[in-house]
Amino acid sequence: MRILTVSVLLFGAFGWLLAKQQSQIQGNIVAHPGKPLIAVPDFRGSGAAASLISAFNSTVASDLQSSPLINLVPKTVYPLQIPQQASDLIGGVAPPSARAVNPQGNRLSDWSLPPINANYLGIGYGAENKGMLVLFGWFYTTAPNMPSLQQAQVFGKVYTASLDQTGAVDAGHRYAADILAQFGGKSLVGTRIVFVSDRTGSKEIWVMNWDGTEQRELTHYRSISTFPSASPDGRTVAFTTYAAGYPAIQMLSIDTGRKLPFYNQRASMNAFVTFTPDSKNIIFSSTLAGGSAQLYMAGVNGSSLHRLTSSGAIEVEAKINPKTGADLVDVSGRTGLPQIYHMNMEGADVERLTAGTGEATNPAWNPDGDHIAFAWTRGFEPGNYNIFVMDVASKQTTQLTANEGRNENPGWAPDGAHIVYASKRGRQSQIWVMNADGTGKHPLTQAGSNEKPVWVNAEQ
339 within domain boundaries: yes
How confident is the model over 50-77, as pLDDT tens digits? 999 999 999 999 889 888 889 999 999 9
Mean pLDDT across the stretch 132-142? 97
Mean pLDDT across the stretch 22-26? 32
* pLDDT of res. 7: 33
351 within domain boundaries: yes
Amino acid at 25: I
**Quick count: other Cβ atoms within 10 Å of Cβ 437?**
12
Mark which of 159, 181, 203 sits at the end of a domain. 181
CATH number at residue 139: 3.40.50.10070
Mean pLDDT across the stretch 153-170? 96
Closest CA to 253 of 219, 304, 296: 219
Helix, strand, coil % in the chain, rounded to nearest 5: 15, 35, 50
Q: How confident is the model at residue 103 (pLDDT cuts 50, 70, 90)?
A: low
Same domain, 337 and 408: yes
Same domain, 293 and 399: yes
Q: How confident is the model at residue 450 (pLDDT cuts 50, 70, 90)?
A: very high
How confident is the model over 422-438, as pLDDT tens digits? 999 999 999 999 999 99
Helix axes 165-181, 53-65, angle to 10 degrees: 40
- Expressed as residue numbers, the domain containing 272 is 192-456
Mean pLDDT across the stretch 332-353? 96
Greater confidence (95 vs 417) lies with 417
**Quick count: other Cβ atoms within 10 Å of Cβ 393?**
8
Same domain, 289 and 263: yes
* pLDDT of res. 145: 86
* pLDDT of res. 93: 72
* pLDDT of res. 34: 80
Same domain, 235 and 143: no
Same domain, 133 and 271: no
**Quick count: other Cβ atoms within 10 Å of Cβ 314?**
19
Closest CA to 338 of 322, 320, 327, 353: 353
Residue 85 above 60 pLDDT? yes
186 within domain boundaries: no
371 within domain boundaries: yes
How confident is the model over 232-259, as pLDDT tens digits? 999 999 999 999 999 999 999 998 889 9
Mark which of 130, 155, 181 sits at the end of a domain. 181
Q: How confident is the model at residue 102 (pLDDT cuts 50, 70, 90)?
A: low
Same domain, 132 and 263: no
Q: What is the mean pLDDT of the chain?
A: 90
Separation of alpha carbons 218 and 199, rounded Å:
13
Same domain, 269 and 385: yes
Q: How confident is the model at residue 20 (pLDDT cuts 50, 70, 90)?
A: very low
Same domain, 203 and 280: yes
259 within domain boundaries: yes
Q: Which residues contact 155 (CB under 8 A, 6 or more apart)?
A: 23, 24, 25, 27, 138, 139, 178, 182
How confident is the model over 352-384, as pLDDT tens digits? 999 999 999 999 999 999 999 999 999 888 889
DSSP-derived letter for residue 54 is H
CATH number at residue 355: 2.120.10.30
Mark which of 119, 151, 181 sits at the end of a domain. 181
How confident is the model over 255-281, as pLDDT tens digits? 888 999 999 999 999 999 999 999 999
Residue 311 above 90 pLDDT? yes
343 within domain boundaries: yes
Same domain, 316 and 351: yes
Same domain, 151 and 243: no
Amino acid at 399: Q
Same domain, 205 and 134: no
392 within domain boundaries: yes
Total count of domains within the chain? 2
Q: 301: phi > 0 → left, psi -120 to 50 → alpha, else beta; which?
A: alpha
pTM for this structure? Answer: 0.82
Same domain, 379 and 342: yes
109 within domain boundaries: yes
Mean pLDDT across the stretch 8-36? 41
Residue 24 above 90 pLDDT? no
CA distances (Å), 346 to each of 326, 357, 371, 440, in order?
9, 27, 21, 39
Question: Do 390 and 353 form a contact (C-beta atoms < 8 A)?
Answer: yes
In percent, the amount of the chain with pLDDT more than 90 equals 80
